[in-house]
């Protein structure tokens, strides 16, 4: 898979590939996702609008919870930190279009390969704790999220993105209001001073520069919730078809995915190498990773990988395997993850949809042992 040739040149970012400039979108090459905890410098960037004005006093940053609650809240970041139990979880954040470029024919949107994902340590408080303090009414059904960022024209008249989720997901312990990333203040580019992190679901739910959560008595209808935005067909459609007559559902839990982080694609190993040490990561949305297997003979045989124990729910699973190589030559290595319900990554991209959501084709790398034949 050819990558965009332009590297992101911003202080604190390391060799990310630019997919879009307005708004800024950049992904991380898989070989840079080789750490248990993804460094901020290697964490992907996905903006839906332009950057907002930086907060003059981050501790005074204010957000509200209103709508279908008994006690609407208006809290500063300082009050949030003092008033609720702080928690830190290492969790995957992933763009809903991750893997889009593997679809044929091509789908609309930024051409992500596998680099629209990262796994950071997020510190904040559970949104559920704050919602319980506000007192959810029986009519509370869905959240609606709002941020300070203007749309891509620079206008504040409409939200750049405003997604929402069912109340049950909002009440999960791991759904966080976050102010720190990897033990440091949340970087501005990643939503400082306050953002949502909704693990396992498309990253568009994890509103940056958070200013408001509106509790609604119906499914939210903001930007990113209507038409075909973040929706996939319930019944498969033909590649290249539209969704005009198709019944759709909102993309919620992301599908199982595995990446190879070492060796890098197109690596050349010394002549005589007979074992290749392969490692990577796997994750599975709301589900768990059951297994990861590798093949270098097109699927004729599979080698199981050894999995590490995740630190907490929504952490990715790091894995490792040693592949035996019969001789010098060119090889393709595929990694296949399977989730707890037996759903495996496909060799070929499936579930085509016009916006290219949820494509989780197996990651493939090419390696050459000795001279190329």
On the question of pLDDT at 4 being above 80, the answer is no
pLDDT at 322 over 70: yes
Read off the pLDDT band of 367 (50, 70, 90). very high
> What is the mean pLDDT of the segment spanning 127-156?
97
Burial-class residue 233 by CB neighbours within 10 Å (0-12, 13-18, 19+): middle
- Helix (H) / strand (E) element for 277: namely strand 275-283
pLDDT grade for 10, boundaries at 50, 70 and 90:
confident
All residues at 6 or more sequence positions from 54 whose CB lies less than 8 Å from its CB, including other chains: 188, 192
Average pLDDT over residues 339-354: 96
Within 10 A of 117 (CB to CB), how many other CB atoms are there? 26
**How far is residue 39's CA from residue 206's CA, in Å, rounded to a whole number?**
19
Question: What average pLDDT does this structure show over 251-261?
Answer: 98
The mean pLDDT of 82-102, rounded to a whole number, is: 98
Give the pLDDT of residue 204: 98
Grade residue 6 by pLDDT with cuts at 50, 70 and 90: confident
d(CA 249, CA 251) in angstroms, rounded, equals 6
Query: Residue 373: pLDDT above 60?
Result: no
Question: pTM of the predicted model, to two decimals?
Answer: 0.96
Q: What are the pLDDT digits (tens) for 202-237? A: 999 999 999 999 999 999 999 999 999 999 999 999
Query: 10 Å Cβ neighbour count for 242?
Result: 11
Q: What is the pLDDT of residue 158?
A: 86
The answer to whether residue 5 scores a pLDDT higher than 70 is no
Task: Give percent of the chain with pLDDT exceeding 90.
Answer: 94
Asked if residue 2 has pLDDT above 70, the reply is no
Cα 25–Cα 350–Cα 235 angle in degrees, nearest 5: 110
pLDDT band (50, 70, 90) for residue 372: low
Angle, vertex CA 114, rays to CA 219 and CA 177, nearest 5? 45
Q: Which domains, and CATH codes, for the chain?
A: 17-250 (3.90.420.10), 257-369 (2.60.40.650)
pLDDT of 26 above 60:
yes
Asked which of 155-159, 166-170, 178-182 is least confident by mean pLDDT, the reply is: 155-159
Question: What percentage of the chain carries pLDDT values higher than 70?
Answer: 98
Of 29, 2, 19, 30, whose CA–CA distance to 282 is shortest? 30
Q: So what's the pLDDT on residue 166?
A: 98
- Mean of all residue pLDDT scores within the chain: 96
Predicted local confidence at residue 245, as pLDDT: 86
């Amino acid at each position: 898979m050819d990558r965009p040739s332009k590297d992101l040149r911003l202080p604190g970012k390391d060799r990310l590939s630019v997919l879009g400039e307005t708004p800024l979108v950049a992904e991380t090459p898989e070989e840079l996702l080789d750490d248990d905890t993804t460094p901020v410098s290697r964490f992907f960037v996905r903006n839906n609008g332009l950057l907002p004005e930086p907060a003059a006093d981050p501790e005074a940053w204010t957000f509200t919870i209103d709508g279908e609650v008994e006690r609407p809240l208006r809290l500063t970041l300082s009050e949030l930190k003092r008033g609720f139990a702080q928690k830190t979880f290492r969790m995957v954040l992933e763009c809903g279009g991750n893997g889009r470029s593997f679809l044929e024919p091509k789908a609309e949107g930024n051409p992500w390969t596998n680099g629209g994902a990262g796994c950071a340590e997020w510190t904040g408080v559970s949104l559920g704790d704050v919602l319980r303090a506000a007192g959810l009414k029986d009519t509370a059904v869905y959240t609606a999220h709002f941020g300070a960022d203007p749309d891509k024209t620079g206008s504040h008249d409409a939200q750049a993105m405003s997604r929402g989720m069912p109340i049950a997901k909002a009440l999960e312990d791991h759904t966080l209001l976050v102010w720190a990333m990897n033990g440091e203040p949340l970087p501005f580019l990643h939503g400082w001073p306050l953002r949502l992190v909704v693990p396992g679901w498309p990253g568009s739910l994890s509103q940056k520069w958070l200013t408001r959560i509106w509790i609604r008595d119906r499914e939210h209808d903001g930007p990113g919730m209507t038409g075909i935005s973040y929706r996939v067909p319930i019944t498969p459609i033909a590649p290249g078809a539209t969704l005009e007559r198709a019944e759709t559902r909102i993309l919620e839990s992301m599908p199982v995915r595995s990446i190879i982080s070492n060796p890098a694609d197109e690596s050349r190993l010394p002549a005589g190498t007979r074992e290749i040490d392969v490692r990577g990561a796997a994750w599975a949305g709301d589900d768990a990773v059951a297994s990861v297997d590798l093949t270098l003979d097109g699927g004729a045989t599979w080698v199981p990988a050894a999995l590490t124990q995740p630190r907490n729910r929504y952490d990715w699973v790091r894995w490792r395997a040693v592949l035996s190589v019969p001789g010098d030559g060119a090889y393709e290595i595929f990694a296949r993850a399977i989730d707890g319900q037996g759903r495996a990554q496909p060799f070929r991209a499936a579930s085509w949809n016009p916006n290219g959501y949820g494509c989780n084709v197996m990651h493939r790398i090419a390696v050459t042992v000795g001279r190329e034949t």
